[in-house]
Chains A and B, each alone.
Chain A
Amino acid sequence: QKEVEQDPGPLSVPEGAIVSLNCTYSNSAFQYFMWYRQYSRKGPELLMYTYSSGNKEDGRFTAQVDKSSKYISLFIRDSQPSDSATYLCAMSANFNKFYFGSGTKLNVKP
């Protein structure tokens, strides 16, 4: 079983839609939960991170962590064509090693 599972999509939504991206994990030692955004032909860039359980909001983006279910989510409100990218979840217990999901490709149509 992979440490981190993520639906690869692709996910296609109209502009303005609410997008929900999700990952599940198996290692209960993970404490740090990250979302990276990767544009085509670029390296991943950190979008948001959370520590332990709970929610974190940054503009149109909200990250949620449910450690009891080993489930994390990223919500994008009022999605824009510029949000079209691949979104990768990542997790770590102590920053020594990071474990990434396979990425979900999102396309926001104008």
Chain B
Amino acid sequence: DADVTQTPRNRITKTGKRIMLECSQTKGHDRMYWYRQDPGLGLRLIYYSFDVKDINKGEISDGYSVSRQAQAKFSLSLESAIPNQTALYFCATSETGGAFNEQFFGPGTRLTVL
């Protein structure tokens, strides 16, 4: 039972194409995050959203945009893909409040830009 799902799981595209990666969650969490993972660089935060009307840039937001369509859905777009955006992309969710807010990750989308 996948609580955080990502589509597509793999995508190959060409430079200049518009790409959308989608994330859905059934955990009922308010907070959602998009990260990219590159070898040797770890996970870097692209955008995060604390609720439908609250969207924030992360450390590497240039070249990306996001849309929070509902509490359960958070999409990441590459308006004009470039080769250095080739990476593994992860969506994550977490609760708000509480003593500790664990992040739950989706299975990832492997994106290749040629």
A positions within 8 Å CB-CB of B: 4, 6, 8, 32, 41-46, 49, 51, 88, 90, 95-98, 100-103
Contact = CB atoms under 8 A, between A and B. Distances in A.
B103 A46 contact: yes
B105 A49 contact: no
Given A32-B100, A97-B58, A43 B43 contact: no
A97 B105 CA distance: 14
Interface residues of B, number: 23
A43 B108 contact: yes
A97 B58 CA distance: 9
Given A32-B100, A51-B100, A95-B101, A100 B43 contact: yes
Nearest to A99: B45
Nearest to A103: B42
Contacts, number: 47
Nearest to A5: B42
A46 B102 contact: yes
Contacts of A51: 100
Contact of A43 (B42, B50, B106): B106
B76 to A, nearest CB: 15
B88 to A, nearest CB: 9
Contact of B40 (A8, A41, A43, A45): A8
7 contacts: A43-B105, A43-B106, A44-B43, A88-B43, A90-B43, A98-B33, A100-B43
A6 B43 CA distance: 12
A97 B48 contact: yes
A44 B92 CA distance: 10
Contacts of B105: 43-45
Contacts of A100: 35, 42-44
B41 interface: yes
A42 B43 contact: no
Contact of A95 (B43, B90, B94): B94
A98 B106 contact: no
A93 B24 CA distance: 27
Interface string B60-93: 0000000000000000000000000000001010
